[in-house]
Amino acid sequence: MSDKVNKNMTFHQVLQMSPQVAKVLGRYNLGCVGCMGAMHETLEQGAIAHGLDVNDILRDLNAIFQD
Protein backbone atom coordinates (compact mmCIF):
# COMPACT_ATOMS: atom_id res chain seq x y z
CA MET A 1 0.00 0.00 0.00
CA SER A 2 1.38 3.41 -0.91
CA ASP A 3 1.48 6.22 1.60
CA LYS A 4 -1.45 8.61 1.58
CA VAL A 5 0.50 11.47 3.14
CA ASN A 6 3.67 12.85 1.54
CA LYS A 7 6.15 15.58 2.42
CA ASN A 8 4.86 17.93 -0.29
CA MET A 9 1.35 18.14 1.12
CA THR A 10 0.41 21.21 3.12
CA PHE A 11 -0.56 20.94 6.75
CA HIS A 12 -4.02 22.14 5.78
CA GLN A 13 -4.45 19.30 3.25
CA VAL A 14 -3.38 16.69 5.77
CA LEU A 15 -5.53 18.11 8.56
CA GLN A 16 -8.58 17.74 6.31
CA MET A 17 -7.97 13.99 5.97
CA SER A 18 -8.76 12.85 9.51
CA PRO A 19 -9.32 14.22 13.02
CA GLN A 20 -6.45 11.96 14.13
CA VAL A 21 -3.95 14.07 12.18
CA ALA A 22 -4.08 16.88 14.74
CA LYS A 23 -3.27 14.39 17.52
CA VAL A 24 -0.22 13.08 15.66
CA LEU A 25 1.02 16.60 14.90
CA GLY A 26 0.47 17.52 18.54
CA ARG A 27 2.87 14.77 19.61
CA TYR A 28 5.53 16.66 17.65
CA ASN A 29 4.50 19.98 19.25
CA LEU A 30 3.17 21.21 15.91
CA GLY A 31 0.16 23.39 16.68
CA CYS A 32 -0.81 23.56 13.04
CA VAL A 33 -4.55 23.81 13.56
CA GLY A 34 -4.33 27.46 14.56
CA CYS A 35 -1.32 28.43 12.48
CA MET A 36 -1.79 30.76 9.51
CA GLY A 37 1.13 29.07 7.73
CA ALA A 38 -0.70 25.74 7.67
CA MET A 39 -2.53 26.73 4.50
CA HIS A 40 0.64 26.97 2.43
CA GLU A 41 3.46 25.34 4.37
CA THR A 42 4.34 21.77 3.40
CA LEU A 43 5.03 19.05 5.92
CA GLU A 44 8.68 19.12 4.89
CA GLN A 45 8.96 22.91 5.34
CA GLY A 46 7.32 22.72 8.76
CA ALA A 47 9.54 19.87 9.88
CA ILE A 48 12.66 21.74 8.84
CA ALA A 49 11.48 24.94 10.54
CA HIS A 50 10.90 23.03 13.78
CA GLY A 51 14.06 20.91 13.62
CA LEU A 52 12.12 17.67 13.10
CA ASP A 53 12.62 14.70 10.80
CA VAL A 54 9.83 14.74 8.22
CA ASN A 55 10.15 10.98 7.76
CA ASP A 56 9.19 10.37 11.39
CA ILE A 57 6.12 12.57 10.99
CA LEU A 58 5.15 10.88 7.72
CA ARG A 59 5.50 7.43 9.30
CA ASP A 60 3.16 8.36 12.14
CA LEU A 61 0.65 10.16 9.92
CA ASN A 62 0.49 7.30 7.42
CA ALA A 63 -0.04 4.84 10.27
CA ILE A 64 -3.47 6.44 10.72
CA PHE A 65 -4.52 5.25 7.28
CA GLN A 66 -3.14 1.69 7.38
CA ASP A 67 -5.79 -1.02 7.20
CA 44, CA 58: separation in Å to the nearest integer?
9
In a domain, 32, yes or no: yes
In a domain, 1, yes or no: no
Q: Is residue 59 part of a domain?
A: yes
What is the three-class DSSP state of 37? Answer: helix
Range of the domain at 24: 11-64
What is the total count of domains within the chain? 1
Work out the pLDDT band at 66, boundaries 50, 70, 90. Answer: confident
At 34, which CATH number?
1.10.3910.10
What lies within 8 Å, CB to CB, of 15 at 6+ separation is 21, 22, 25, 32, 33, 38
Q: Do the domain assignments include residue 34?
A: yes
Query: pLDDT digit string (tens) for 26-43?
Result: 999 887 666 667 778 999
From 67, 54, 65, 64, select the one nearest 11 (Cα to Cα): 54
Please indicate, yes or no, if residue 24 is contained in any of the structural domains: yes
Tell me the per-residue pLDDT of 39-58, one tens digit each, with 9 for 90 and over: 789 999 999 999 999 999 99
pLDDT above 90 (res 1)? no
